[in-house]
Amino acid sequence: MKSFINVEDLGPLDKAMAEAFEIKNDRFKYQHLGKNKTLMMIFFNNSLRTRLSTQKAAMNLGMNVIVLDVNAGAWKLETERGVIMDGDKSEHLLEAIPVMGCYCDLIGVRSFAGLTDREYDYAETVLQQFIKYSGRPVFAMETATVHPLQAFADLITIEEHKVVERPKVVLTWAPHCRALPQAVPNSFAQWMNAAPDVDLVITHPEGYELDPKFVGNAVVEYDQKKAFEGADFIYAKNWSNPGVTNPADYGKITSKDMSWTVDTEHMSWTNNGKFMHCLPVRRNLIVTDDVIESPNSLVIPEAANREISCSVVIKRMLEAL
């Protein structure tokens, strides 16, 4: 595997899932694969889970790990070509990327959407430059439009906790005080569409339609209560306006409707549904204290599975070196 961005990069999902459970049972089974190999993790944005779980996965596989926080200690990077670099940016990404590639065997990149230019974000401009100029296999650690390591962990979590063969999974928008990317819901929808035994329903206020290439065959239901009825899993997430119905709204907050916050009444509409969120989560905006602390909350096992999803991805990349 030369890059990991979309669900198709993993090949058949059943095989990837089997590998995930194999690794979960024996995390150090493939420790020989990473001997004398170096992973470089590059963060343009903050992280708790991705930083720790990716490093842990790489260590389980016997790798050395270098972490670079671009905004804390590195030179400020220019990303556009043709700019006269007389501002505060001392180095161009087009030199920085191949230099980083010299010191490692694999690269993980976190670079969020700017949320001002939809075309730039949806072209995955920064990630594509890493793929093109680093000379190394590259995986997304949440980029402008996708978060595949999260979606893979979510699928593992659903598989572990489902009590019916074909669960109803509901992706619900919830209110938030800051504009957030669409990467998590995009990838979640993409992966749930790819999973053979999941019925996916997406619910959000009108105007928050996700890009059709991620929505796929999911049912979109604007009535949140109807969407929740009979649900086995509730996957809550805020995202800013994707600019699909109105391009001028891209990256903006066009609803703060607190009736969408997932509380115990919302959960009572479900089929004893489990609650999921990728974290970090702002309590009492996205979800109430009661719901996130309830026995049906899966947020911690979900985060734990990030080590597993990442182990499969790094293992596949090491095997292909």
DSSP summary character for residue 6: S
User: Measured from the CB of residue 145, what is the shortest distance to ligand AN0 in angstroms?
Assistant: 10
55, containing H or E segment: helix 49-60
Strand-pair partners of 109: 42, 140
- Contact, 71 vs 139, CB < 8 A? no
What distance in Å separates the CA atoms of residue 268 and residue 274, rounded to the nearest whole number? Answer: 11
Q: Does 180 contact ligand AN0 by CB under 6 A?
A: yes
Dihedral pair phi/psi, residue 75, rounded to 5°: -65, 145
Consult the annotation and say whether 102 binds a ligand. no
Longest dimension (CA), the chain: 60
Which residue, 241 or 309, has its beta carbon nearer to ligand CP?
309
Residue 183 contact among ligand CP, ligand AN0, none, beta carbon within 5 to 8 Å by kind: ligand AN0
The count of residues interacting with ligand CP (CB under 6 A) is 9
Which of 41-49, 111-119, 208-216, 233-241 is the region at the interface with ligand CP (rule: CB under 6 A)? 41-49
Q: Does 49 contact ligand CP by CB under 6 A?
A: yes
Length of the chain: 321
What distance in Å separates the CA atoms of residue 135 and residue 133, rounded to the nearest whole number? Answer: 6
Q: Does 150 contact ligand CP by CB under 6 A?
A: yes
Consult the annotation and say whether 136 binds a ligand. no
Which residue, 43 or 233, has its beta carbon nearer to ligand AN0?
43
User: What is the signed CA dihedral for 37, 39, 40, 44, rounded to 10 degrees?
Assistant: 170
Q: Does 184 contact ligand AN0 by CB under 6 A?
A: yes
Subset of 272-301 contacting ligand AN0 (CB under 6 A): 278, 280
The footprint of ligand AN0 (CB under 6 A) covers 142, 180-181, 183-184, 278, 280
The footprint of ligand CP (CB under 6 A) covers 47-50, 142, 150, 278-280
